[in-house]
Amino acid sequence: MDEEKIKKQAKKIMDEFISALNKVPKIKEEFGVERKDFTRKAEKSEYGKDFKKRMLKNAPKVKDDQLVMEKKSW
DSSP state for residue 53 in the 8-state scheme: H
pLDDT averaged over every residue in the chain: 86
Instruction: Collapse the DSSP code of 40 into the 3-class scheme (helix H, G, I; strand E, B; otherwise coil) and give the result.
Output: coil
Q: In this predicted model, what pLDDT tens digit does every residue of 37-67 receive, in sequence order?
A: 778 788 887 778 888 889 999 999 999 989 9
Distance CA 65, CA 53 (A): 9
- Which one is predicted more confidently, 72 or 20? 20
Contact (CB, 8 A) for 56 and 67: yes
Q: Is the dihedral of CA 27, 33, 38, 39 positive or negative?
A: negative
Confidence (pTM): 0.35
Q: What is the DSSP string of 13-36?
A: HHHHHHHHHHHSPPP--------S
Residue 1's pLDDT is 66
